[in-house]
Amino acid sequence: MGEENVPASIVQFAQLDKLLNLGRANSLWPMTFGLACCAIEMMCTGGSRFDISRFGAEVFRPSPRQSDVMIVAGTINKKLELAVKTLYDQMPEPKWVIAMGNCAICGGPFKVKENYNVVEGADKLFPVDVYIPGCPPRPEALLEGIMMLEEKITGKRRWPRVQPG
């Protein structure tokens, strides 16, 4: 049988973890953290046409204490860097980050040789779970990002993945 590598936690609540993850996946409460143009697309996603509340994610909590997902929608620049880090640290533990838009992924259109003020990418500040490319990404892309995050949390994908092309 060979030796068994004992899992980190002594008691493994396999089933309970699955249930908790399912609960967490279905009620991701994003924090209202709109910086720039992507924030408008985030509001459109909350609108009636692309309705983010179908996935239980419509409660946009203003305070970082009660939110699970930080959707970084926009450009982080050097003056805001400290504020963004503090907000990330204030969020209670099972927290995820969605980098929405090219600015949050890699500085986007402002990643130029004379860039003196833009932080090139949110992952320079904290670990990012899902990247949504686009400038600004379409609301459907944000919904796909949330479904990808749910797949990352629960391991199962809710809807069939759309094959490109």
Partner 1 sequence: MGLVEQTQAALAELFPEPALPAAPAGEGDQEAPPRQAGVVVTDAARHGSHLDVLCRPDQVVAVARVLDQDGYFLEAISGVDWLDKGQFEVIYDYNRLGGEHCRVTVRALVDRNEPAVPTISGVFPAADWHERETFDFYGIRFQDHPNLIRILLPEDADFHPLRKDYMP
Partner 2 sequence: METSIWHALLYLVGIMAFAGVNAAWLGWCERKGAARIQRRIGPCEAGFAGLLQPLADGLKLMSKQLLVPQGVDGIIFRVAPVLAMIPAITSMVVIPFSENIGARAMELSVLLLFALASIGMIAILLGGWASGNKYAIISAARSVSQNLAYEIPMLLTVITVVLISGSMNLREIAIDQQGGFWHWNIFRLENGHFLTMWISFIIFFICSVAETNRAPFDMAEAESELVAGFMTEYSSMGFGLFMMGEYLNIVVGACLTATLFLGGWDCPFGKTPGVWWFVLKIYILIFTFIWIRWTYPRTQIYRLLNLSWKILIPFSLVNLLVTAALIKVF
Partner 3 sequence: MTVPVHLRHDETFVLNLGPQHPATHGVLRVKLTMDGEYIVKAEPVLGYIHRMHEKMAENGTFAQFMPNTARMDYLHALAFNHGWALVVERAAGIEVPERAEYIRVITVELNRIASHLLWWAAFLLDLGGFTPLLYAFDDREKIIDLLERVTGSRLTYCYLRFGGVYNDIDDEFIAGTRDFIKRLRGRMPRLYHDLVTHNIILIKRIKDIGFVTAEQCRRYGATGPVARGSGIDYDIRKNEPYSVYPEFDFDVPVFTEGDSMARYMVRMHEMEQSMRIIEQALDKLPGGPVMGKAPKVLKPEAGYYYSAVETARGSLGHRLVCNGDKNPYKLKLRSPTFSNLSLFGEVAEGMLLADALAFMGSLDLVIPEIDR
**Which of partner 2, partner 3, partner 1, none sits in contact with 106, Cβ below 5 to 8 A by type?**
none
Among 36, 43, 55, 129, binds partner 2 (CB under 8 A): 55
Spatial distance between the Cα atoms of 98 and 107, rounded to a whole number of angstroms: 15
**Which of partner 1, partner 3, partner 2, none sits in contact with 43, Cβ below 5 to 8 A by type?**
partner 3
**Which of partner 2, partner 3, partner 1, none sits in contact with 37, Cβ below 5 to 8 A by type?**
partner 3
Number of H helices, E strands in the chain: 5, 4
Contact residues for 21 (Cβ-Cβ < 8 A; gap 6+): 153, 154, 155
Q: Give me the 144-163 binding string for partner 3, x by CB under 8 A, dash otherwise.
A: --------------------
Size of the site for partner 2 (CB under 8 A): 27
**According to the binding rule CB under 8 A, does residue 113 interact with partner 3?**
yes
Q: Give me the 113-142 binding string for partner 1, x by CB under 8 A, dash otherwise.
A: xxxxx-------------------------
Listed as own residue / partner, the contacts of 86-92 with beta carbons closer than 8 Å and 24 or more positions apart are 87/31, 87/33, 88/64, 88/125, 88/126, 90/64, 90/65, 91/31, 91/64, 91/65, 91/67, 92/65
**Which of partner 1, partner 3, partner 2, none sits in contact with 54, Cβ below 5 to 8 A by type?**
partner 2
Size of the site for partner 1 (CB under 8 A): 7
Spatial distance between the Cα atoms of 57 and 50, rounded to a whole number of angstroms: 12
